[in-house]
Structure 1
Amino acid sequence: MKINLNQKVKVKVTSVGKSHFIHRHKDLFGDSSYAPKFQFLQEDEEGYSVWQLWDLIGHFGEALQLLTLHPPIETEIELIE
């Protein structure tokens, strides 16, 4: 099976991941007046959010280390066709 990095996936972002998401935005843009408005993740009724795979890796890659006790996303990822 092949997966393209542009493929959309559904994941459940944990509370640790949500905190990481907020801090990453602050680290990238600080208090700059040119910073894009922060928008939190849109989740469906089951708590899943949709990402392109490359964007998910870009946001959470450093936090997706093996043996983490507090993962930023749940381990099950659903591929969207």
Structure 2
Amino acid sequence: MSADLVMEMNFNESVSVRLTDEGRRILAERHDELRRRVPTVGPYVPRVEDEEGRVSFQLWDLMHTFGPSLFLGNPNLPIEADIRFRPHLRPTAAQRMEGSDG
């Protein structure tokens, strides 16, 4: 892989992860808390896993939901360590500047 490879990713882009039992518990608990605050919210429906056992999030939602649980030494991580993303490939700001003529 080239050392010059740079990619930008927007917080709104989709990522997929494999949840652990802890991650499933956190999602259900967050929904229960929302229902306590807003009784009209419907019952919890788990996220649908794809054929590889992955679920999708927007990057910001993944970070917001599981960020407090992602720390070195946590024996109960909410997600497996690999995150897949399909960013919309676009030049970085520096690359756009290099390509401009003026």
Normalising by structure 1, we get a TM-score of 0.86
The runs of at least 4 consecutive aligned structure 1 residues that moved more than 4 Å come to none
Q: Distance in 1 between matches of 2:15 and 2:71?
A: 19
Quick check: 1:8 aligned with 2:2? no
Q: Would the aligned equivalents of 1:10 and 1:80 in 2 still touch at CA under 8 Å?
A: no
Normalising by structure 2, we get a TM-score of 0.70
**Matched-pair identity in %:** 35
| Structure 2 unaligned blocks of 5 or more | 1-6, 88-102
Larger CA deviation: 46-55 vs 33-42: 33-42
- Residue of structure 2 equivalent to 1:56: 62
Q: Distance in 1 between matches of 2:32 and 2:51?
A: 27
C-alpha root-mean-square deviation of aligned residues, in Å? 1.7
Q: Distance in 2 between matches of 1:9 and 1:80?
A: 7
Quick check: 1:46 aligned with 2:13? no
Aligned length: 81
Higher relative contact order (CA 8 A, sep 6+): 1
